[in-house]
Amino acid sequence: MLMIFLFILQWVFGLALVLFLGYIAYIMISFKNPVPYVPTPRRIVKIIVGMAEIKEGEKVCDLGSGSGKILIALAKKNKRNLIIGVEKFFLPRLVSQIRLFFRPSFKKRVQVVKADFFNIDLHSFDVIYCFLTPEAMRILEPKFKCLKPGSRLISYMFPLEDQAGFEETIEHISMKDSVYLYKKI
């Protein structure tokens, strides 16, 4: 019995190690992409969740949802909202799905979809979160301009260049960290 337990423990540890090393490799390789994988710090996540002021029934989207940290934080605070993470790459999407697997109460209201966020329709969302590069923000600006009135866009680190049609609120957290909230007029 002890041998079986040790074998299972060794197998689980080996699998965890392979996943962890794959995750680190993915982070390093992602810097070749226009939008690399850089997780949002936990202290910023709390600020973002507060700034979003999500109302019951609003539909929320995280563009480039990565490991699902924002999705889970939003789902914990907003119990009656559909929250969709858009993630193109396999490994972070897998991590999100594993994290969500251990939170069965989120199953019906939190989804992670495989898609390139440059190609999705954002019009149906009430709140959109993104931590993207300035280049990606510029590419997405026409889609942001088409959001319905009252929709909110939250961006960590990088502001919209063309803010026409939006009310802007900035939360300066430190010399290098800012969160931008844009409300569509």
139 burial class (0-12, 13-18, 19+ CB within 10 angstroms)?
middle
For residue 68, what are its two tokens? 């699902």
Residue 2 is predicted with a pLDDT of 81
pTM of the model: 0.83
Where residue 17 falls (left for φ over 0; alpha for ψ -120 to 50; beta otherwise) is alpha
The CATH superfamily label for domain 42-184 reads Vaccinia Virus protein VP39 (3.40.50.150)
Strands 82-86 and 127-130: unpaired
- Strands (E) located in 8-126: 59-63, 82-86, 110-113
pLDDT of residue 155: 97
pLDDT at site 4: 86
Q: What is the pLDDT of residue 44?
A: 94
Any idea where the domains of the chain sit in the sequence? Answer: 1-32, 42-184
